[in-house]
């Protein structure tokens, strides 16, 4: 390799190292905010939701006071199906994809992470629903449905001010 090429590669390597350090600093800052903010702490009790999703949701909606119920929040995220109604018959289409693209993407990714480990589904309060739905729905449709469920649970946790109590339900039901 020529000297010029070595200098170019060395400069790119230093840029890469600087970016890695910057990512680590930003990640640690997000974790610190998530650990100190009470709303974020409550959201992180929900399976699949970590510091990134919790801080993004608290930053976007605060305590969720702008929405009357979880379905309104899920609709704002764009996680509910479009409805076509005619003659008393309702036809559900694809998701609306309105609202916050970033939060919608985070909730879908959280759902996909949960779906990656089917052996752990029984640990969650929505595990029985997830097992039954996995039989009748395609994978991507199920991940969006689970993201919808997670978003509704997250709104409920924020608006009520209580932690998600899936561990208590697990003990109570004997699962």
Express each pLDDT in 100-122 by its tens digit: 889 999 999 999 999 998 888 88
| Same-domain status, 47 and 25 | no
What tokens appear for 174 in the block? Answer: 């004997």
| Same-domain status, 31 and 69 | no
Q: Are 73 and 61 in contact (CB under 8 A)?
A: yes
**Does residue 173 have a pLDDT over 70?**
no
Q: Are 97 and 74 in contact (CB under 8 A)?
A: no
pLDDT value at residue 172? 44
| Same-domain status, 132 and 47 | yes
What tokens appear for 156 in the block? Answer: 């409920």
| Same-domain status, 1 and 42 | no
**Does residue 168 have a pLDDT over 80?**
no
Q: Looking at residues 126-150, what average pLDDT do you find?
A: 90
| Same-domain status, 137 and 54 | yes
| Same-domain status, 31 and 43 | no
| Same-domain status, 147 and 75 | yes
| Same-domain status, 63 and 85 | yes
| Same-domain status, 62 and 107 | yes
Entry pTM: 0.80
**Count of structural domains, the chain:** 2
What tokens appear for 135 in the block? Answer: 């039989």
SS3 of residue 88 by DSSP: coil
**Does residue 170 have a pLDDT over 50?**
no
| Same-domain status, 30 and 91 | no
Q: Any bridge partners for residue 84, and if so which?
A: 91
| Same-domain status, 167 and 127 | yes
What tokens appear for 28 in the block? Answer: 């640690």
Q: Looking at residues 34-51, what average pLDDT do you find?
A: 91
pLDDT value at residue 43? 92
CA distance 161 to 166: 15
| Same-domain status, 32 and 48 | no
Q: Are 149 and 110 in contact (CB under 8 A)?
A: no
For the four alpha carbons of 99, 49, 112 and 142, in that order, the dihedral sign comes to: negative
53-106 pLDDT, tens per residue? 999 999 988 888 889 998 899 888 888 877 778 877 877 777 777 778 899 999
Confidence category of residue 167, pLDDT binned at 50, 70, 90: low
pLDDT value at residue 166? 65
pLDDT value at residue 86? 80
Owning domain of residue 147: 38-173
What's the whole-number average pLDDT of the chain? 87
């Amino acid at each position: 390799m020529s000297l010029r090429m070595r200098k170019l590669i060395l400069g790119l390597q230093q840029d890469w190292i600087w970016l890695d350090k910057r990512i680590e600093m930003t990640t640690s800052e997000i974790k610190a905010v998530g650990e100190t903010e009470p709303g974020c702490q409550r959201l992180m009790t929900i399976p699949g939701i970590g510091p990134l999703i919790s801080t993004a949701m608290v930053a976007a909606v605060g305590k969720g006071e702008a929405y009357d119920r979880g379905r309104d929040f899920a609709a704002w995220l764009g996680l509910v199906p479009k409805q076509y109604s005619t003659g008393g018959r309702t036809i559900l289409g694809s998701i609306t994809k309105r609202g916050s693209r970033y939060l919608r993407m985070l909730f879908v990714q959280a759902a996909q992470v949960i779906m990656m480990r089917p052996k752990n589904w029984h640990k969650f309060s929505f595990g029985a629903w997830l097992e039954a739905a996995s039989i009748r729905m395609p994978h991507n449709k199920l991940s969006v449905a689970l993201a919808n469920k997670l978003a509704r649970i997250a709104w409920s946790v924020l608006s009520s001010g209580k932690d998600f109590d899936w561990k208590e339900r697990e003990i109570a039901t004997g699962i």
